[in-house]
Amino acid sequence: MNTNTNFPHLLAPGQIGNLTLKNHVIMGPTETLYASSDGEVTRPIIDYYVRRAKGGAGLIVVHSAQGNTKIDPIDPYAGSLRIDDNAYIPMLSQLTEEVHRAGAKISIIVSPGGGAQSLGFPYDKGSQGVCDVSNVGPSEKQSMVAQRKVRKLTVDEIHKSVEAFGLCAGRAKVAGFDAFYIHAVGGYLISQFLTPYFNDREDEYGGSLENRMRFLLEIIASCQKHAGKDFPLIVRMSIDEFMGDAGRGIEESKQMGKMLEEAGVAAIDCSAGIFESMHMLIPPFYLPQGVLVPLAEAMKSTVNIPVITQGRLYEPQMAEDILADGKADFISLSRGWICEPDWVKKISEGDIKGLRKCITCNHCIGTRILNNLPLRCTFNPQAGRESERGARVKKTRAPKNIAIIGAGPAGLEAAYTLGKRGHIVDMYEASDKICGGQLLTASLPPAKDVLNYIPAFYAEQLSRLPNVNIHLNTPVSANNLNSISADVVLLATGANALIPNIPGIDNKNVYTAEEVLKGNADLSGKVVVAGGGQIGGETAHFLLEKGCEVSIIEMLPAILIKEELITMLTLLNILSTGGAQILTNTKISRFNEDSVEALNTQSGETLSVPCDHVVVAFGTKPENSLYQTLKTKFGDVRVIGDADVVGNIQTAIHSGFFAALDI
């Protein structure tokens, strides 16, 4: 175990206003959709945050609560928390009490609304599809993402919003929160007033920076009026909206920082982007770790109050160095805490190798929250299930001998969970390393090396379980089953490439994506990628980086349709700017030595796409050919992961986890 505990800046006590924190690590806000349909705190919310309080967070920031639902009538998501009425105080106080007992301080981030960007439904339930309820904003400008009509707020409504927001700060203080976060980030309502992109008002709330700041400054004054000037206020804001001249950039934000400091704000939390530049608001793995740190550094050069940084800061040493170099005063992780609820606890114990590090797949936000589904994590199947009896890892009273065939994500999570429960586990892997199959291939395209966090975590954790034995270079077949003794067998052999029967697919110039990514085929010149799913898109990116001229042919109306939204948009931009030709609604009919013949299924036009090489990426199919043989010998055989149903890393890990709980 790594015993290096040399993180003096991360683990030292910190100060925000009059609030003392036990360390410099903040759990940033991430929507969960665990609230009741009326926006009230629930037991799953409490258990979710208490778990991370026990994991050592210095300050927990509870996800976005709405503070003015009468004037901004659309929920930004379909299940936000609310704090716009005294009726919400009891359960909020239950949350703060339990988090305090678990050892953390707690804040809550509050918005007067989502404005033009709101993606949810009217708070007046049953209105959807019946009543024409508009989003609201500083102007009538619509969000390109929400694409909903917007009603311009009146000055009287702005004044009422300011008063309502201040009352929220008072409620938060009564409920026991230690600080109050003001949601001025990401193109929500306050942010829309701050940016010329949304704010084209000609009254005292638009135009100059002073006028665009007026709404926020009045909100701050209202919070101080209702909660007292000793109640720490933290403003979370986008320092650069990454909208070019249409939005707000760093220099103007630095001026805002000075104004916020003069207004009595205790700290500034430095984010980036709006929904139109969502790749900066929620950075995918295509952006470097620490991508937003320069924004905090710029703000810190301007203000004397604490500055908080964020943006893919999963590596403890990187976080420590940022603080040591004076680039920021506090580190905030959001997705990192979802994946690893013991982030600080493990660091303080020197267990760096034991961290379950976020792989930045954005399943939590892009796949779940943006589709109005409760928060889940690809890598941590227990995230959000802290209250579920069926998701608790309990010691077994009757240990069994379990054989797991295949050491991919599904098999590894099953082995890890079974090992913790006390079963005797033997894992058989055909290759010379764990995750030596599909996940190894998936980690090879540009920026995908982050997937190496998965085998690193399981290798470390399984090495600590003496009841788990991993047999590498040990393929299992009908010929060596007698060497296996097991009460239960889990078949986790993953999936194989799908190779359809298209004329010419056996040509010498046709390769699989796996062959190309693993370096078994060094391609150049014109390359056609047959299939525009995740594998095809990432392989096309790989080939563009090698200087190839790439065309993607996809039968469906769009490519990357199963990819998470933010990652998809980022990769689409990479492919487009890289010069990839994308042909959708196009069905391949033949592979030739110098071209691919295809049919546009909409126009009926036949196409001949010239190429030197072809890479087939038509997806995968389950590999479970051993099932019947295993069933005959062992009886209790369970198929998990892609060997059962082709999915992704998330479905594989969760499949392995729940299979292990059922034994």
- Asked if pLDDT for residue 5 goes beyond 80, the answer is no
- Three-class secondary structure of residue 421 per DSSP: helix
> The tokens 């004044």 sit on which residue?
159
Could you tell me if residue 387 is inside a domain? no
Q: Band of the pLDDT at 129, cuts 50, 70, 90?
A: confident
- Three-class secondary structure of residue 64 per DSSP: strand
- Asked if pLDDT for residue 104 goes beyond 90, the answer is yes
Distance set, CA 262 to CA 215, 266, 304, 515, 603 (Å): 15, 10, 10, 60, 63
Distance set, CA 108 to CA 111, 163, 178, 492, 540 (Å): 10, 18, 9, 42, 43
Could you tell me if residue 389 is inside a domain? no
- Identify the DSSP state of 574: H
Q: Domain limits at 77?
A: 8-371
Spatial distance between the Cα atoms of 369 and 31, rounded to a whole number of angstroms: 7
Q: Band of the pLDDT at 182, cuts 50, 70, 90?
A: very high
- What are the residue ranges of helices labelled H in 188-274? 189-194, 209-227, 250-263
Tokens (6 digits) for 98: 């339990």
Based on the domain organization, do 146 and 241 belong to the same domain? yes
Catalytic residue among 188, 197, 314, 627: 188
Could you tell me if residue 642 is inside a domain? yes
pLDDT digits (tens, 9 = 90+) for 584-602: 999 999 999 999 999 999 9
Cross-strand pairs, 105: 59
Residue 281, Ramachandran bin (φ over 0: left; ψ between -120 and 50: alpha; else beta): alpha
Distance set, CA 122 to CA 77, 109, 115, 158 (Å): 10, 21, 12, 20
Based on the domain organization, do 278 and 414 belong to the same domain? no
- Three-class secondary structure of residue 515 per DSSP: helix
Mean pLDDT to the nearest integer, 462-471: 98
Extended beta strands in 263-381, E state: 267-272, 307-309, 330-333
- Asked if pLDDT for residue 233 goes beyond 70, the answer is yes
Mean pLDDT to the nearest integer, 551-561: 97
Mean pLDDT value across the chain: 96
Total count of domains within the chain: 3
CA nearest neighbour of 313 among 414, 302, 295, 298: 295
Spatial distance between the Cα atoms of 277 and 273, rounded to a whole number of angstroms: 5
* pLDDT score, position 2: 37
Based on the domain organization, do 434 and 478 belong to the same domain? yes
With a CB cutoff of 8 Å and minimum separation 6, the contacts of 325 are: none
CA nearest neighbour of 585 among 605, 555, 544: 555
Q: Band of the pLDDT at 125, cuts 50, 70, 90?
A: confident
Residue 71 maps to which CATH number? Answer: 3.20.20.70
- Identify the DSSP state of 468: E
pLDDT digits (tens, 9 = 90+) for 91-103: 999 999 999 999 9
- Asked if pLDDT for residue 3 goes beyond 50, the answer is no
Spatial distance between the Cα atoms of 279 and 555, rounded to a whole number of angstroms: 27
Could you tell me if residue 385 is inside a domain? no
Based on the domain organization, do 86 and 211 belong to the same domain? yes
Tokens (6 digits) for 349: 């114990």
Q: Band of the pLDDT at 148, cuts 50, 70, 90?
A: very high
CA-based radius of gyration for the chain: 26
pLDDT digits (tens, 9 = 90+) for 239-258: 999 999 999 999 999 999 99
pLDDT digits (tens, 9 = 90+) for 9-43: 999 999 999 999 999 999 999 999 999 999 999 99
pLDDT digits (tens, 9 = 90+) for 330-383: 999 999 999 999 999 999 999 999 999 999 999 999 999 999 999 999 999 999
Single out the residue in 356, 371, 386 at which a domain terminates: 371
Could you tell me if residue 388 is inside a domain? no
Mean pLDDT to the nearest integer, 452-467: 98
Q: In the annotation, is 188 catalytic?
A: yes
Helix (H) or strand (E) run with residue 404 in it: strand 401-405
pLDDT digits (tens, 9 = 90+) for 58-91: 999 999 999 999 999 999 988 899 999 999 999 9
* pLDDT score, position 1: 37
With a CB cutoff of 8 Å and minimum separation 6, the contacts of 21 are: 13, 14, 15, 58, 59, 105, 330
Residue 427 maps to which CATH number? Answer: 3.40.50.720
